[in-house]
């Protein structure tokens, strides 16, 4: 809402992150169904192109004015957003969704670790690390994980860390409207790259409705919501809350793909969720959350 400034309740960014993560997991499942038709790079191009179009129409980024010190973070924010999508979709061609998300989460987990200051902060980080350790297919199953796909997921995680750090600085004044400009930067690089690698089926009209749904669920909605959270939460809190992402991915696999979890994996999920809840419950002792304008 243009010109409206309001202080958000302390719980609102937490709800916003949860909705964003659920949206991303739904979009990832839908996107994977398009891989056999247009390929992972093609899905990336379609997602970013349509998602950017939606965001540009909604937020009209040409009206935004950024300070000189915000321009470089904005550039890296846009580039990391595009690279994160591209690498992640390439990874889930050969790596199960839950494993890829867990590997990708090493990015925000690193942000949470290096932003920690108090002893209690490390308790939540340790719980998240333990959960990830037992979620990953270590031991005899590791031979079934494609190493190239795993490396791509880790690369996506590095981009995710940059996305968190630069997004907070770039979106300080403009909030979710910043996502439109960041997505436009990503589109300039990764839409042509993805289109060049896609199959000819990408031009079929039947692909458009699914691509549009993927764009809304995986780009337009979650990144707008995440920007709201990024500019209202300390970096450590945001990074630790995102630890629920692998848990949601694993649960999505159970519901939509018929995957089963062992007792150890269930305990790992509980550990990750406990880390998220713990960081939330101790959030009141953090510095005051900055108020931003909602455009």
**What's this model's pTM, rounded to 2 decimal places?**
0.77
Question: Does residue 294 lie within any of the structural domains?
Answer: no
Structure-token match 């600085």, residue found: 169
Question: Does residue 160 lie within any of the structural domains?
Answer: yes
Range of the domain at 137: 4-288
Question: Does residue 295 lie within any of the structural domains?
Answer: no
> Is residue 149 within 8 Å of residue 95, measured between CB atoms?
yes
Q: Specify the pairing of strand 4-5 against strand 293-294.
A: antiparallel
The tokens describing 153, both together, are 């997921």
Residues 142-155 pLDDT 10s: 445 678 888 899 99
Question: Does residue 64 lie within any of the structural domains?
Answer: yes
HEC letters along 245-259 = HHHHHHHHHHHHHCC
Residues 25-63 pLDDT 10s: 888 878 888 888 999 999 999 999 998 898 888 888 777
How confident is residue 6, by pLDDT bands cut at 50, 70 and 90?
Answer: very low
What is d(CA 247, CA 135) in angstroms, rounded to the nearest whole number? 9
Predicted confidence at residue 290, as pLDDT, reads 37
What is d(CA 209, CA 205) in angstroms, rounded to the nearest whole number? 8
Question: Total domain count for the chain?
Answer: 1
Residues 88-100 pLDDT 10s: 999 988 887 777 8
pLDDT (average), residues 180-209: 90
> Residues 220-234, buried b or exposed e (16+ Cβ, 10 A)?
bbbbbbbbbbbbbbb
Question: Does residue 16 lie within any of the structural domains?
Answer: yes
Residues 121-131 pLDDT 10s: 778 788 878 87
């Amino acid at each position: 809402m243009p010109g409206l400034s309001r202080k958000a309740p302390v719980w609102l960014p937490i709800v916003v992150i949860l909705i964003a993560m659920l949206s991303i997991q739904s979009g990832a499942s839908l996107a994977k169904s398009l891989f056999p038709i247009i390929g992972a790079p093609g899905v990336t191009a379609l997602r970013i192109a349509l998602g950017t179009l939606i965001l540009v129409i909604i937020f009209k980024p040409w009206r935004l004015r950024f300070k000189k010190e915000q321009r470089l973070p904005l550039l890296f924010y846009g580039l990391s957003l595009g690279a994160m999508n591209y690498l992640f979709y390439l990874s889930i061609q050969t790596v199960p969704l839950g494993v890829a998300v867990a590997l990708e989460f090493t990015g925000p987990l690193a942000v949470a670790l290096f932003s920690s200051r108090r002893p209690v902060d490390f308790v939540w980080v340790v719980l998240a690390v333990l959960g990830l350790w037992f979620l990953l297919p270590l031991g005899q199953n590791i031979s079934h994980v494609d190493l190239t796909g795993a490396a791509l997921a880790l690369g996506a995680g590095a981009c995710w860390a940059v996305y968190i750090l630069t997004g907070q600085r770039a979106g300080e004044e403009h909030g979710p409207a910043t996502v439109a400009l960041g997505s436009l930067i990503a589109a300039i690089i990764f839409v042509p790259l993805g289109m060049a690698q896609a199959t000819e089926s990408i031009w079929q009209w039947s692909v458009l409705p699914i691509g549009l749904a993927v764009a809304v669920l995986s780009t337009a909605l979650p990144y707008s919501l995440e920007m709201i959270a990024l500019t209202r939460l300390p970096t450590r809190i945001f990074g630790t809350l995102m630890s629920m992402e692998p848990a949601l991915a694993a649960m999505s696999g159970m519901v939509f793909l018929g995957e089963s979890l062992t007792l150890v994996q269930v305990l790992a999920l509980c550990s990750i969720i406990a880390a998220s809840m713990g960081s939330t419950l101790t959030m009141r002792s953090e510095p005051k959350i900055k108020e931003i304008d909602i455009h």
